[in-house]
DNA sequence: CCTACCGATCGGTAGG
DNA sequence: CCTACCGATCGGTAGG
């Protein structure tokens, strides 16, 4: 909201994070050097160590700063709709938009999986999933139009389908999406809605 | 089928591929050195270059040798069932088993995405997806019990849900799967089946 | 925050 | 002349 008052040191720290973020996305963690990060941030190599104890701490901080939850939770909260059908449709479009606007989210998670052997992934999920559940839960439970399936399974399937849809969009032009994207999105939504709504 | 007759050189080449595969899974591409690959294969560093022109060519060869399609297509082909419901259930269980037995498949693809910026991913998908479609197509189309949704969307959603389920299994113990795994698998299957079957 | 470096290791290649 | 390697070292770069 309000403009934060930041010291020069904080500005430097943030430019390190932003430079590192861009480089990690393009080259991965091990493929990115501390010298590249320093150059991107406009400082000398040694200067980095005034802000971070090492390369891994930079990655941790980037993971926190660019965490999907910051982008996606407000989108889901903003989702409204008279029926669950409308609500799901709005949430789905909001999530796709959020993913498209910040395509680096998934890559950071892939880096965590590939180059850190999923070391911090359980913590990450434990931090994220309850937040999503607490937002989705009240709305869904106030309705009686869902099949008798645990809300957790429903949310998990929703996320899985959105990720798959997102992958399909990244692969435009391949056989994987031989139909218009809007149409593919609609089909995925139909399968999900038929899957969760009571007759 | 029959036992291949392989020269000593071919055996060396294959041990390089296997060693590189294991190391890539644990450390990623840039995190793995040619010296580690050589040690894993039981030869000297220089010996590698009699079989591969460089590190990237090794990764390409590993991607080909351990391609998911080799494992998953026979599983789907072996899937039978009097009804689509049975068929889907068998295919789902077969795919989960295949993924669990070869957990490296997904990681190789993540390495491709993260460390090579998805350079060869479209080609990979174009090679794989049509094969799956040609196997699934005839069976599904011989039935009239599906909703009016393109087969391509159905297959894509199926793959998305299986991947999500697989991720959930890797995250056992976290909030993400607060129910028994068999139950979570069943719930995912219910959503999919309700989503695609005609009333 | 910089310059000047360190111990070690990187991917790749030399001659034999 | 080929293959399948070796011990040693190349020019550069890694994180700190």
Domain residue ranges of chain B, discontinuous segments joined by + = 8-64, 67-194
Q: What is the DSSP string of A85-121?
A: HHHHHHHHHHHHHHHHH-THHHHHHHHHHHHSTTTTH
pLDDT value of residue A44:
87
pTM: 0.76
Q: Which nucleotide is nearest to A33 (CA to C1')?
A: D14
pLDDT, greater one: B81 or A174: B81
Q: How far apart are CA A56 and CA A29, in angstroms?
A: 9
Least confident of A97-111, B50-64, B182-196: A97-111
Residues of B in contact with A28 (CB under 8 A): 28-30, 114-115
Of B110, B160, B171, the CB nearest to A161: B160
Give the distance from CA B182 to its chain's centroid: 21
Give the Å distances, CA to CA, from A85 to A145, A189, B26, B124: 10, 10, 43, 35
Q: Please answer yes or no on whether B147 and A122 come within 8 Å at the CB atom.
A: no
Name the architecture of domain B67-194: Orthogonal Bundle (1.10)
Residue pLDDT, tens place only, A71-90 = 777 777 777 777 888 888 98
B9 Cβ nearer than 7 Å to chain D strand: yes
pLDDT band at residue A172 under the 50/70/90 scheme: low
Q: Please answer yes or no on whether A160 and B161 come within 8 Å at the CB atom.
A: yes
Average pLDDT over residues B5-25: 86
Q: How far apart are CA A9 and CA A145, in angstroms?
A: 54
Give the Å distances, CA to CA, from A97 to A75, A160, B147, B175: 9, 16, 28, 26
Name which of B164, B66, B9 is nearest A152 in CA terms: B164
Nucleotides of D strand lying within 7 Å of any protein CB atom: 3-9, 13-16
- Residue A179 pairs in a beta bridge with none
pLDDT band at residue A139 under the 50/70/90 scheme: low
Residues 11-50 (B) near nucleic chain D, CB < 7 A: 12, 43-47, 50
pLDDT value of residue A2:
40
Q: How far is B137 from chain A (nearest CA, A)?
A: 15
User: Scanning the structure block, which residue is given the tokens 């607060």?
Assistant: B178
pLDDT value of residue A1:
39
Domain A8-64 is in which class? mainly alpha
SS3 content of chain B, % helix, strand, coil (to 5): 75, 0, 25
Q: How far apart are CA A156 and CA A152, in angstroms?
A: 6
User: For A34 and C4, how far is CA from C1' in angstroms?
Assistant: 17
Q: Which nucleotide is nearest to A45 (CA to C1')?
A: C2
**pLDDT beyond 90 at A179:** no
pLDDT band at residue B172 under the 50/70/90 scheme: low
Of A157, A161, A176, the CB nearest to B129: A176
Q: Is A196 on the interface with B (CB under 8 A)?
A: yes
pLDDT value of residue B1:
40
Could you count the other beta carbons within 10 Å of the beta carbon of residue A179?
13
Q: Please answer yes or no on whether B194 and A194 come within 8 Å at the CB atom.
A: yes
Residue pLDDT, tens place only, B31-78 = 899 999 998 998 888 899 999 989 999 998 998 888 777 777 777 777
Three-state DSSP at B141 gives helix
pLDDT band at residue A58 under the 50/70/90 scheme: very high
Least confident of A16-30, A51-65, A122-136, B35-49: A122-136
């Amino acid at each position: 909201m309000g403009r934060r008052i930041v010291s020069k040191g904080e500005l430097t720290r943030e430019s390190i994070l932003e430079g590192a973020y861009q480089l990690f996305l393009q080259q991965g963690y091990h493929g990115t050097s501390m010298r590249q990060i320093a150059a991107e941030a406009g400082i000398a190599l040694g200067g980095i160590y005034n802000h971070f104890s090492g390369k891994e701490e930079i990655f941790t901080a980037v993971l926190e700063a660019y965490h999907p939850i910051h982008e996606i939770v407000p989108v889901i909260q903003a989702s409204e709709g008279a029926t669950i059908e409308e609500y799901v449709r709005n949430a789905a479009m909001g999530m796709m938009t959020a993913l498209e606007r910040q395509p680096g989210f998934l890559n950071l998670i892939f880096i965590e999986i590939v180059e850190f052997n999923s070391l911090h992934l359980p913590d990450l999920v434990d931090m994220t999933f309850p937040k999503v559940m607490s937002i989705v839960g009240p709305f869904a439970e106030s309705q009686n139009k869902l099949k008798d399936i645990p809300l957790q399974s429903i949310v998990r399937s929703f996320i899985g389908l959105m990720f798959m849809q997102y992958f399909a969009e990244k692969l435009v032009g391949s056989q994987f999406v031989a139909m218009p994207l809007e149409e593919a999105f609609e089909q995925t939504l139909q399968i999900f809605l038929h899957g969760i709504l009571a007759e």
